[in-house]
Chains A and B, each alone.
Chain A
């Protein structure tokens, strides 16, 4: 449904994206994950036809975005990071205007208007001015705008940014419901969002793709073990010899003391539960144990791991 081949975009001397390749299958929800400034928005803007790439090509729904722009744009719904709203219009008149310039057939407009308002939870707001709506509702109007002309492909740039937790869940459910009928690309910098909504993830960093996989594979492969953190007091020099013999423990890092408390990070291979063994050993050896917790891998860790891997390779 979407093919991106050797896509590059430079803004003057700065390279926003560099040789990006990926593919999205029909009905798939693809997550575009990366820190701010990684090139997510640039890639999405190219796909939506906002500006052309410096090199490479993008094909959406069978049409090259820059050779057949009108055909491609007709089939794409795009929601920029900042919803493009005419705030002095009412929700209905705005959506009608969008449906007209997106080329929706005249006799379908009323029908679609009703449908997207239901879908996006905008019932009863039709006559209200957009400027009087809350941020969450404005975001929904932005989403409705992208959906109104029944596009085959949806490109959503950070659709949940600035929403409250309840709204975030609603928008995620909405997007999940769109998969199957629509092909969706959504960008985010929140990892759980990706694992909750997307079937596949593209991780992008500094304009380059670092990984493409399912969220499950990615987390498993990257985590490859669990990390246990301890906070304790006592003669830490003996910790190495004390804990290394425990099966499944791979490494121990002792941090500098803070008011006499040391934080200790223990890497395990993650196949077996070892926390109770560690706790017993530590206490039996006379340490004062204040805290013991497993640290799940955060997005930052994954990035660190992926980007350092990339550079080493």
Chain B
């Protein structure tokens, strides 16, 4: 436990020593804030148009759940931004240890691979929380200025989804980082992989054969959609948790393999 905490603590501190974390956070806040504004104004405009149209035709206006619509689009945007910024956070996690030779310190210390990996993963997940935290402000505004007050649960479920998606991307990113000594290579491969997981979703929509079904199941976005809509379904939870477990498991294999192969 102490080893795990020591690794997590150090890793989290290290993230904030260099400029990367700050740049990533700033970019994330800026882009997510900008999109929140755009989404909100767009949807309000739509609502007004619909209201005007219904007045012209004398029919009662089609009801629109504005907060739900805004949050759905906003969580969609969050997932896309995470796709871009998370590889930058995971790229160096293990690659840099290899390059600097500090992996030699870690491997010759009385810690297990599990302690090492979970420590690093925890630090990254904490970073993810730090990154997502300020966007709560958007939701708070939306929540308190909507009339009638929307339900709270969909917001929480949406955040749970963003957190799970982000964490599973982090687990995959750590795995990629353990395959190379080069941060840039690690970042590029991670990004390419994330992007293919995104594209998988678009491809899955194209048809309904078994192939498409499989792709739909594997697509990280497909599982995210329900969360963004405020619907909680355990199958999605299972999907993300297994992705995290698999990612970390493969990382531990890759970390221990050079010990045997070299």
* A and B associate in one complex: yes
Q: Does B106 contact A (CB under 8 A)?
A: yes
Asked if B107 contacts A88 (CB within 8 A), the reply is no
Residue-wise, chain A 83-112 has the 8 Å CB interface mask toward B (1 for contact) of: 111111100010001101111000000000
Which of B63-71, B77-85, B96-104 forms part of the interface with chain A? Answer: B96-104
A7 is an interface residue with CB less than 8 A from chain B:
no
Closest to B119 in A: A101
A98 to B3, CA, bound (A): 10
Least CB distance, B31 to chain A, in whole angstroms: 27
Which residues from chain B contact A11 at a C-beta distance below 8 Å?
262
**Is A161 located at the chain interface by the 8 A CB criterion?**
no
Are A89 and B17 in contact, with the CB atoms below 8 A?
yes
Residue contact B107 to A50, C-beta cutoff 8 Å: yes
Chain B interface: which of A69-77, A200-208, A262-270?
A69-77
Q: A152 to nearest B CB, angstroms?
A: 13
* Cα of A74 to Cα of B6 in the assembled complex, Å: 16
Which residues of the other chain, B, contact A93 by a CB distance below 8 angstroms?
13
Interface locus among B108-116, B121-129, B154-162, B208-216 = B108-116
A11–B260 Cα distance when bound, in Å, is 10
Contact of A73 among B14, B110, B262 (CB under 8 A): B110
Closest residue of chain B to A10 (Cβ to Cβ) is B262
CB-contact partner of A86 in B102, B112, B260, B262, under 8 A? B102
B100, B109, B260: the one contacting A85 at CB < 8 Å is B100
B105 touches A145 (CB 8 A): yes
Encode contact with B along A216-243: 1 for CB under 8 Å, 0 otherwise.
Answer: 0000000000000000000000000000
Q: A69 to B259, alpha carbons, bound, how many Å?
A: 13
A74 to B110, CA, bound (A): 6
**Residue B2 lies at the interface, judged by CB distance under 8 Å to chain A:** yes
Say whether B17 contacts A88, CB under 8 Å.
Answer: yes
**Does B18 touch A at the CB level, under 8 Å?**
yes
Question: Judging by beta carbons under 8 Å apart, are A102 and B110 in contact?
Answer: yes
Complex contact A97–B6 (CB within 8 A): yes
Contacts of A74 in B (CB 8 A): 110
A80–B106 Cα gap in the complex (Å)? 12
A305 on interface, CB distance cutoff 8 Å: no
Known: A50-B104, A51-B258, A100-B6. A70 touches B14 (CB 8 A): no
Interface size class, chain A: 20 to 34
Q: Which residues of A contact B3 (CB under 8 A)?
A: 100-101, 103
Q: B13, B106, B110: which contacts A70 (Cβ < 8 A)?
A: B110
Cβ B260 vs Cβ A84 within 8 A: no
Residues from chain A with Cβ under 8 Å of B112 in the complex: 70
Name B's interface SS. helix
Q: B7 contacts the other chain (Cβ, under 8 Å)?
A: yes
- For B6, the closest partner residue in chain A by CB is A100
- B108:A88 contact, CB within 8 angstroms: no
Interchain CA distance A103-B13 in the complex, whole Å: 20
A174 CA / B53 CA spacing, docked (Å): 87
B205 contacts partner chain A, Cβ-Cβ < 8 Å: no
* Cβ B260 vs Cβ A73 within 8 A: no
Q: Which of B2, B14, B101, B108 contacts A49 (CB 8 A)?
A: B108
Shortest CB distance A124–B (Å)? 22
Would B6 and A101 count as touching, CB distance under 8 A? yes
Contact digits for B52-72, partner A, Cβ 8 Å, 1 yes 0 no: 000000000000000000000
Specify which chain A residues have a CB less than 8 angstroms from the CB of B259 in the assembled complex: 50-52
The yes or no answer to A185 lying at the interface (CB within 8 A) is: no
A78 within 8 A of B: yes
Q: When A51-B260, A52-B259, A88-B14 are in contact, do A82 and B101 touch as well, CB less than 8 Å?
A: yes
With a cutoff of 8 Å between Cβ atoms, the chain A residues found around residue B10 in the complex are 86, 89, 97
A50, B102: Cα distance in complex, Å: 12
- Given the interface contacts A52-B260, A89-B17, A101-B3, does A73 sit within 8 Å of B109 by beta carbon? yes
Once bound together, how far apart are the Cα atoms of A222 and B101, in whole Å?
38
Once A76-B108, A101-B7 are accepted as A-B contacts, the answer to whether A84 and B17 lie under 8 Å apart by CB is: no
In the complex, how many angstroms separate the beta carbon of A32 from the nearest chain B beta carbon? 17
In the complex, which residues of chain A have a beta carbon less than 8 angstroms from the beta carbon of B109?
73, 98, 101-102
User: Given contacts A101-B6, A101-B7, is CB(A85)–CB(B102) below 8 Å?
Assistant: yes
Kindly state whether residue A48 has any CB partner on chain B within 8 Å. yes
**Which residues of chain B are near A80, meaning CB under 8 Å?**
101, 104-105
Q: B100 to A88, Cβ gap below 8 A?
A: no
A11 to B109, CA, bound (A): 23
In the complex, what residues of B have CB within 8 A of residue A100's CB? Answer: 2-3, 6
Closest to B259 in A: A51
7 contacts between A and B (CB under 8 A): A49-B107, A50-B108, A52-B259, A70-B111, A73-B108, A86-B100, A100-B6
Residues on A lying within 8 angstroms of B by beta carbon are: 11, 45, 48-52, 69-71, 73-74, 76, 78, 80, 82-89, 93, 97-98, 100-103, 145
The 10 A-B pairs of least Cβ separation, nearest first, read A84-B105, A100-B6, A73-B110, A48-B108, A84-B102, A70-B110, A74-B110, A88-B17, A101-B109, A51-B259
Extra pairs beyond A97-B10, A101-B7 (11, CB < 8 Å): A45-B104, A69-B110, A73-B108, A78-B104, A80-B101, A86-B14, A98-B105, A101-B6, A101-B109, A103-B3, A145-B105
